[in-house]
Amino acid sequence: MQFVIIGAGPAGMQAATHAARLGIDVVLIEAEVLGGSANLRDCIPSKTMIATGGALSSVGRMGGMGLAKAHAEVDLGALAERVRDIENRLEAANTELLTRQGVELVRGAGRLAGPHQVVADTLEGERRFEADAVLVATGSRPRVPAWVEPDGDRVLTTRDAYPPKALPEHLVVVGSGVTGVEFVHMFRSLGSEVTLVVSRQHVLPNKDAEVAAALEETFAQRGVHLLKGARAEAVVRTDDGVQVSCNDGRAVEASHALLAVGAVPNTASLGLEQAGVVVDAGGTIPINHHCQTNVPHVYAAGDISGKLPLASVASMQGRKIAEHIAFGHTVAHRHLTYDRAPSAIFTEPEIADVGLAEVEAFAEGRKIRVTKVPFASTAKALIENDPRGFVKIISDPATGVVLGGSIVGESAAELISVVALAVTAELRVADIAESMFVHPTLAEALAEAAE
């Protein structure tokens, strides 16, 4: 059995390592970096910069920690080096893992030449593979609307923002979804003036209204300008910066503009037609619950599969694909349930959620029990001088089974794992309430919300 994977992002990496663990011969073709865009351009560099901004803001809060004076400033050169260093370390760890597991790594651009034929164009020439199973996991790239032309200098996509060459004096972020608000937070914490163009009346249009309101409140406190109900329709270079014009006649002059308006899947030039694989109008590849395309031995995963565009989801798809190839339907094979995937927004405050949201339950007319506990009621939040935010758990009033939850505040992305586990394992609120949590920790708010 030969399994050929195109793309070594979270989906391809996880499929490769898990399949190799299960005894399958794996060939992994990667055009750039092991770990994919997630490591090189998206998750990891953005979170590295956000961590530095977070450290800087916490210095600003040190006055309340019993310290007389605290001061720090950003060293862009050192930050750029740190971003590259983390990427290199992750690349080295991934190379070591694949080598240890006996995965054949091919550096080059992969494409299908037929249903079972995969070609890799490498520096040494073309290599051909006969595959029993194929995974296409080539990811996505930033969407660029027709009315703007990024130049990588003043008009940026999310991928031009790091490693940082200069800190924008005034940055206009276009797009107020998860990526947009993370970039607002990142550059504001590093010291830039930031304006966010919000096409609707609120940021994060797909999130719980209470959560979006909490974020807007801190943005306002931190001096972020919100241009609400405005759709950007032009970005032009001026003598010393940019001008972003909106459809309601408003315009903002700034030093830089950054576009965070979605992604397009990398499905062109992959030979999908030759293999008979269907691609939909938006460029994503439709898949079934085993991540199979319309050609059963050709799988698709990650951002190109049009499911939740998260590294964690891509990895889990990769894992499930390896199991499906190894075992087919012969073992109890649990499908991936996308609506149980936790997600986080690395802003200040941090935001995380999982499972059923109040708004969805309301739309479905479903009865739910909602318990909410502010972090201010925990000793740990007071000790850490950051009592902002809350924990919310949503459960079934009849059975007590945990259906979802959201957390706003310090370490929300870490804490949501407890709720995610409860949702995936269909635990009851009582199971959380009866677990012992370390004292003093923020997690105690979860135990209290589960009462």
Site membership for ligand FAD, residue 321 (CB under 6 A): no
Please state at what angle helix 209-221 crosses helix 178-190, rounded to 10 degrees. Answer: 20
Shortest spacing between CB 84 and ligand FAD, in angstroms: 16
Shortest spacing between CB 161 and ligand FAD, in angstroms: 8
Angstrom distance (rounded) from CA 128 to CA 238: 50
Closer residue to ligand FAD (CB): 137 or 252: 137
Angstrom distance (rounded) from CA 358 to CA 210: 10
Site membership for ligand FAD, residue 157 (CB under 6 A): no
Of 187-246, binders to ligand FAD (CB under 6 A) are none
Task: Give how many residues touch ligand FAD by CB under 6 A.
Answer: 37
> What Cα–Cα distance (Å) separates residue 227 from each residue in 193, 284, 311?
14, 32, 30
Closer residue to ligand FAD (CB): 7 or 53: 7
Q: What angle do CA 408, 176, 243 make, to 5 degrees?
A: 140
For ligand FAD, the binding residue among 184, 310, 357, 419 (CB under 6 A) is 310
Q: Which stretch binds ligand FAD (CB under 6 A): 34-42, 83-91, 193-201, 358-366?
A: 34-42
Binding mask 107-136 for ligand FAD (x = CB under 6 A): --xxx-------------------------
Site membership for ligand FAD, residue 38 (CB under 6 A): yes
Site membership for ligand FAD, residue 266 (CB under 6 A): yes
Q: Which stretch binds ligand FAD (CB under 6 A): 91-99, 289-297, 305-313, 391-399?
A: 305-313
Site membership for ligand FAD, residue 293 (CB under 6 A): no
Shortest spacing between CB 5 and ligand FAD, in angstroms: 9
Shortest spacing between CB 108 and ligand FAD, in angstroms: 7
Q: Is the link from the previous residue into 349 a cis peptide, with omega within 30 of 0?
A: yes
Q: Which stretch binds ligand FAD (CB under 6 A): 25-33, 63-71, 372-380, 429-437?
A: 25-33
For ligand FAD, the binding residue among 245, 312, 435, 441 (CB under 6 A) is 312
Binding mask 42-61 for ligand FAD (x = CB under 6 A): xx--xx--------------
CA dihedral over 103, 104, 106, 107, signed as positive or negative: positive
Q: Which residues of 304-334 are buried (b: 16+ CB within 10 A; e: fewer)?
A: bbbbebbbbbbbbbbbbbbbbbbeeeeeeee
Shortest spacing between CB 283 and ligand FAD, in angstroms: 13
Site membership for ligand FAD, residue 158 (CB under 6 A): yes
Q: Which stretch binds ligand FAD (CB under 6 A): 200-208, 213-221, 311-319, 397-405?
A: 311-319
Contact 226, 216 (CB under 8 A): yes
For ligand FAD, the binding residue among 4, 30, 256, 342 (CB under 6 A) is 30
Query: Distance of alpha carbon 235 from its chain centroid, rounded?
Result: 26
Q: Which stretch binds ligand FAD (CB under 6 A): 168-176, 229-237, 277-285, 310-318?
A: 310-318
Shortest spacing between CB 1 and ligand FAD, in angstroms: 21
Closer residue to ligand FAD (CB): 136 or 427: 136
Shortest spacing between CB 45 and ligand FAD, in angstroms: 8
Binding mask 163-192 for ligand FAD (x = CB under 6 A): ----------------x-------------
Closer residue to ligand FAD (CB): 303 or 396: 303
Shortest spacing between CB 408 and ligand FAD, in angstroms: 17
Of 389-448, binders to ligand FAD (CB under 6 A) are none
What are the tokens at 297? 């031995």
Site membership for ligand FAD, residue 10 (CB under 6 A): yes
Contact 346, 357 (CB under 8 A): no
Q: Which residues bind ligand FAD (CB under 6 A)?
A: 6-12, 29-33, 36-38, 42-43, 46-47, 109-111, 137-140, 158, 179, 266, 270, 302-303, 309-312, 314
